[in-house]
Amino acid sequence: PFEVLIVGGGPAGASAAVYTARKGFSTGIAAERFGGQVLDTMGIENFISVPYTEGPKLSAALEQHVGEYDIDVMNLQTAERLIPASQPGGMHEVVLANGASLKARSLILTTGARWRNLGVPGEMDYRNKGVAYCPHCDGPLFKGKHVAVIGGGNSGVEAAIDLANIVGHVTLIEFDSKLRADQVLVDKLRSMKNVDILTSAATTEILGDGERVSGLEYKNRETNELHKVELQGVFIQIGLVPNTEWLKESGLELSKHGEIVTDARAATNLPGVFAAGDATNVPYKQIIISMGQGATAGLSAFDYLIRTEPA
Ligand code: FAD
């Protein structure tokens, strides 16, 4: 058993592990894929103090930093079930897909999230080559260009407002017959000069020249006609899904969006169970924020362990 077991090996998990290991606690990390979403990222320009890095490089740096300490990294391990301790100070149990069980007095859950994909031809081929998911991250790469935002909920409309200030032109594409975002956001978007809004439009394909995105094709759902738009970027904003399905039966409190509910100390409703990063209800999903909350979770686990007698 560990004193602290971290489930998830992205920026949040790596940060939490370094903090608990530095407190002298035996620490383990079980991760489906060490590095997390960072592995799928190309240029990173908002990890403060590092003006430019790339996902694989940052992921290797996370691994190296974790490797400086006596941390047991169990990569390619998927957690399937959490069995919380029956009393404070007791052992929590995490059941893995391979049938094994890991136990620890304190847990830090950092299983992250995944962007919902459109599932149309071209999307995967041009990922990081014009297909983007994060306007805070990649918006400035499209300065002066024409981009589409797919999705007319709050995140899509916010992304379109954000991008319209940076890029040349934004086409917002919504599948439904109307935008679903808050009215203030819709009003703000409609007031912007360099924005077109298409509703009842189903994106059917992301087009490219073999190297980068060059346009997209959509179907007008009222007329069934196909149309093409020339553009250089497509931001897909149809939802960020937390990787918390495995926690549903555990008694851990999840929000209506499936996010782990945490407080300012990264504590959950279960004593000794903490959580950090994109899997939680922390506002704004970013590397630097995940690492910050991971550090908070690590320090809170320390606080818990020094105050709670083993059961
Ligand atoms: P994740 O990185 O999602 O890591 C989750 C970890 O948990 C992984 O190791 C995963 O394998 C593991 N896991 C999941 N389920 C299980 C399970 N059941 N059992 C065991 N392990 C599990 N942010 C920025 O700040 N700047 C950027 O430029 C930027 N660009 C991005 C570009 C792309 C294409 C994407 C997808 C994201 C980008 N982000 C960027 C967002 C950033 O990557 C995330 O905010 C950050 O990685 C979240 O860290 P995390 O540790 O919470 O989760």
Which string of DSSP letters, residue by residue, matches 85-149?
A: -SSTTS-EEEEETTS-EEEEEEEEE---EEEPP---TTTTTTBTTTEES-HHHHGGGGBTSEEEE
159-207, pLDDT tens digit by residue? 999 999 999 999 999 999 999 999 999 999 999 999 999 999 999 999 9
| pLDDT of amino acid 41 | 87
Residues 212, 210: Cα–Cα separation, whole Å: 6
Query: Binning pLDDT at 50, 70 and 90, where does residue 256 land?
Result: very high
Measured CA angle at 7 (ends 4, 8), to 5 deg? 130
Distance from residue 277's CA to the centre of ligand 1 (Å): 8
For the CA of 278, the closest atom of ligand 1 is 52
DSSP annotation of 280: B
Sign of the alpha-carbon dihedral angle for 198, 201, 203, 209: negative
89-135, pLDDT tens digit by residue? 999 999 999 999 999 999 999 999 999 999 999 999 999 999 999 99
Tell me which H or E stretch contains 80: strand 79-83
The DSSP bridge partners found for residue 220 are: 201
Report whether pLDDT(40) > 90: no
Cβ of residue 277 lying under 6 Å from some atom of ligand 1: yes
Kindly state the average pLDDT of the residues 5-22.
98
Mutate to test the pocket of ligand 1, among 41, 238, 293 (most ligand atoms within 8 A of CB): 41
Report the SS3 class of residue 289. Answer: helix
Distance from residue 7's CA to the centre of ligand 1 (Å): 13
For the CA of 245, the closest atom of ligand 1 is 18
Residue with tokens 């379109």: 160
Cβ of residue 63 lying under 6 Å from some atom of ligand 1: no
- pTM score of the predicted model: 0.92
Distance from residue 242's CA to the centre of ligand 1 (Å): 10
Distance from residue 198's CA to the centre of ligand 1 (Å): 31
Tell me whether 0.90 is exceeded by the ipTM.
yes
Mutate to test the pocket of ligand 1, among 287, 289, 291, 296 (most ligand atoms within 8 A of CB): 287
The radius of gyration computed from the CA coordinates of the chain, to the nearest angstrom, equals: 21
Tell me which H or E stretch contains 154: helix 154-164
Report whether pLDDT(42) > 90: no
Cα 177 off chain centre by? 28
Report whether pLDDT(309) > 90: yes
Residues 117, 29: Cα–Cα separation, whole Å: 28
| pLDDT of amino acid 24 | 98
| pLDDT of amino acid 35 | 97
Cβ of residue 153 lying under 6 Å from some atom of ligand 1: no
Distance from residue 78's CA to the centre of ligand 1 (Å): 15
How many beta carbons lie within 10 A of that of residue 232, not counting itself? 18
